[in-house]
């Protein structure tokens, strides 16, 4: 049979990271490739207790269909959390529970992007957003990231020239670079965007993972009626539960809810109830503090071993939170070549190319420090350093 697929599939890249993870299934390989939280930090006992409580006390309701928007007490918790953490006032009525924050990106694409629409995105940008938006065939326009956030001069030029439908950014501990927008840059991005009819899609999946410095307001704090925020329980509870959320201005929110109804009616209601029960039973702030302490320790080890073992001329980011750091090699160096050499040394990472919509970034790579213990980090970075020196020699 000759299969006929929608033309959009030709323009949608496969997940490079998912393909790499197949290579790293070999237990001998130390992998810094995946964006995985540390499984030792999953609150297993608390979730078992929460599931038992829900199924003992209200099983028939928890196992039934529910509203598209999601379990109201959970949405109320999220709204209170925004106010406490960032000072942002969000109505629970404008929070939609999703199947992870990745579904948020798909829903945004469905309701905002027509084929050929300009879409602004950070350079380098989150691979999951590039893949999700690619289904809707946009014209990507990149805005370079500086040490303190996007280059607002270029952002202004992009807005002037292309009038993009949206600008997508990860303001806290960006995936892939670990860079965070400074307080001043957040206000400046909001000021620039406020002069245009471009929505800011603020992905805050890593916002709770700050282990240095103080929490900052979101860009959306300064951009009323123009900010769409996505969030996730994957990084602070467990990714396998696939629970995220989106909050948006009323007109946008209504369209997103319609798209969600057409997609899957509502997110897993039992999981929503279990997560809320876990939050009711436990001190989430204490749990998050523990995650932050572990990730700070792992990040510090990785930075130290890189500084001790990597050849000169290589730069790295030093994130204040999150799960990733970014490595840049001198121009002309190929991290794709390095990847194949590194696999022979039984260590893996993600080459930088997939994070650029134009396929550049061949001299960069992403390292994940959250899913490796101290021994693995020391041994893995030592192996990687050996692979780098071999690649440089070749």
Residues 263 and 331 in one domain: no
What confidence tier does 202 reach under pLDDT thresholds 50, 70, 90? very high
- Is the confidence at residue 150, as pLDDT, over 70? yes
Is position 100 within any domain? Answer: yes
Same domain for 216 and 345: no
Mean pLDDT across 275-284: 98
- Kindly state whether residues 65 and 156 are assigned to the same domain: yes
Q: CATH no. for residue 99?
A: 3.40.640.10
The C-alpha angle 29, 31, 37, rounded to 5 degrees, equals 140
Helix (H) or strand (E) holding 341: helix 335-344
Domain stops at, among 236, 261, 281: 281
State how many domains the chain has.
2
Token pair 């490595």: residue: 327
Which helix (H) or strand (E) segment holds residue 259: the answer is helix 250-264
- Is 1 within the bounds of a domain? no
Residue 55 lies in a domain: no
Q: Which H, E and C letters describe 81-107, residue by residue?
A: HHHHHHCCCCCHHHEEEECHHHHHHHH
Q: pLDDT band for position 217 (50/70/90)?
A: very high
pLDDT band at 18 (very low <50, low <70, confident <90, very high): low
User: Distances in Å between the alpha carbon of 192 and those of 144, 151, 172?
Assistant: 15, 11, 19
Beta bridge partners of residue 199, listed in sequence order: 166
4: confidence class by pLDDT, cuts 50, 70, 90: confident
Q: Residue 11's domain spans which residues?
A: 7-43+286-393
Give the pLDDT band (50/70/90) at residue 1. confident
User: What is the distance between the alpha carbons of residues 196 and 186, in angstroms, rounded to a whole number?
Assistant: 16
The whole-number average pLDDT for the span 142-155 is 98
Task: Give the pLDDT band (50/70/90) at residue 243.
Answer: very high
Residues 173 and 296 in one domain: no
Same domain, 276 and 143: yes
**Alpha-carbon gap, residue 61 to 349, rounded angstroms:** 44
Q: What percent of the chain has pLDDT over 90?
A: 92
Judgement on whether residues 271 and 310 belong to the same structural domain of the protein: no
Q: 306: how many CB neighbours lie within 10 A of its CB?
A: 18
Position 17 scores a pLDDT of: 67
Q: Are 178 and 317 in contact (CB under 8 A)?
A: yes
Q: How far apart are the first and last CA of the chain?
A: 47
pLDDT exceeds cutoff 80 at 340: yes
Whether 298 and 251 map to the same domain: the answer is: no
* Residue range 83-138, pLDDT digits in tens: 999 999 999 999 999 999 999 999 999 999 999 999 999 999 999 999 999 999 99
2 inside domain: no
Q: Are strands 364-368 and 350-351 parallel, antiparallel or unpaired?
A: antiparallel
Looking at the structure, tell me whether residues 98 and 229 fall in a common domain: yes
52 in a structural domain: no
Per-residue pLDDT band at 16 (split at 50, 70, 90): low
Same domain for 25 and 88, yes or no, is: no
CA atoms within 13 A on the CB side of 218: 32
Residues 180 and 102 grouped into a single domain: yes
Digit-coded pLDDT (tens) for 26-44:
889 999 998 899 999 999 9
- Tell me whether residue 51 is in a domain: no
- Residue 122's DSSP bridge partners are 143
Calculate mean pLDDT across residues 140-155. 98
Does 54 reside within a domain?
Answer: no
**Is there a domain that residue 48 lies in?**
no
Calpha distance 264→111 (Å, rounded) = 15
CB 162, CB 120: distance < 8 Å: yes
pLDDT at 300: 98
State the sign of the Cα–Cα–Cα–Cα dihedral 127, 128, 131, 133.
negative
pLDDT above 70 covers a percentage of the chain that reads 97
Q: What does the pLDDT read at residue 7?
A: 79
State the chain's mean pLDDT as an integer: 95
Residue that terminates a domain, selected from 281, 305, 338: 281
Torsion of Cα atoms, 295 then 301 then 306 then 307, to 10°: 120
| pLDDT band per the 50, 70, 90 thresholds, residue 15 | low
- Tell whether 66 and 26 lie within a shared domain: no
pLDDT of residue 24: 67
Q: Are 197 and 164 in contact (CB under 8 A)?
A: no
* Alpha carbon distance 148, 161 (integer Å): 24
Same domain for 18 and 67, yes or no, is: no
Kindly report the CATH number assigned to the domain that includes residue 354.
3.90.1150.10
Report, in angstroms and rounded to the nearest whole number, the Rg of the chain calculated over CA atoms: 21
Listed residues 281, 296, 326: the one ending a domain = 281
Q: Which helix (H) or strand (E) holds 143?
A: strand 139-146
């Amino acid at each position: 049979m000759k299969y006929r697929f929608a033309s959009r599939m030709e323009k949608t890249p496969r997940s490079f990271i998912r393909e790499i993870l197949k290579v790293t299934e070999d237990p001998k390989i130390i992998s810094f490739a995946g964006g995985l939280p540390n499984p030792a930090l999953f609150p297993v006992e608390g979730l078992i207790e929460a599931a038992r409580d829900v199924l003992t006390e209200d099983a028939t309701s928890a196992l039934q269909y529910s509203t598209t928007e999601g379990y109201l007490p959970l949405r109320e918790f999220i709204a209170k959390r925004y106010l406490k953490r960032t000072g942002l006032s969000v109505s629970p009525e404008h929070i939609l529970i999703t199947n992870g924050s990745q579904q948020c990106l798909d829903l945004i694409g469905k309701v905002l992007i027509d084929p050929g629409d300009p879409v602004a995105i950070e350079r380098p940008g989150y691979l999951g957003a590039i893949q999700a938006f690619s289904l809707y065939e946009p014209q990507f326009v990149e805005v370079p990231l500086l040490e303190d956030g996007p280059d607002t001069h270029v952002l202004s030029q992009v807005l002037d020239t292309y009038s993009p439908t949206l600008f997508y950014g990860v303001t806290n501990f960006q995936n892939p670079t670990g860079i965070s927008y400074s307080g001043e840059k957040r206000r400046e991005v909001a000021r620039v965007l406020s002069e245009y009819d471009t929505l800011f899609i603020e992905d805050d999946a890593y916002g709770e993972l700050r282990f240095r410095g103080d929490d900052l307001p979101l860009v959306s704090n300064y951009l009323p009626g123009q900010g769409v925020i996505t969030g996730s329980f994957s990084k602070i509870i467990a990714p396998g539960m696939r629970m995220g959320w989106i909050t948006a201005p009323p007109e946008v929110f209504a369209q997103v809810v319609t798209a969600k109804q057409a997609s899957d009616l509502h997110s897993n209601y039992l999981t929503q109830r279990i997560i809320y029960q876990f939050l009711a039973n436990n001190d989430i702030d204490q749990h998050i503090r523990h995650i932050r302490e572990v990730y700070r320790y792992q990040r510090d080890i990785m930075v130290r071993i890189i500084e001790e073992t990597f050849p000169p001329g290589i730069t790295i980011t030093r994130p204040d939170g999150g799960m990733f750091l970014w490595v840049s090699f001198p121009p002309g160096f190929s991290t794709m070549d390095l990847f194949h050499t590194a696999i022979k040394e039984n260590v893996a990472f993600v080459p930088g190319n997939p994070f650029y919509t134009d396929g550049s970034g061949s001299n960069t790579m992403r390292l994940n420090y959250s899913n490796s213990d101290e021994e693995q980090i020391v041994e893995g970075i030592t192996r990687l350093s050996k692979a780098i020196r071999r690649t440089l020699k070749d």
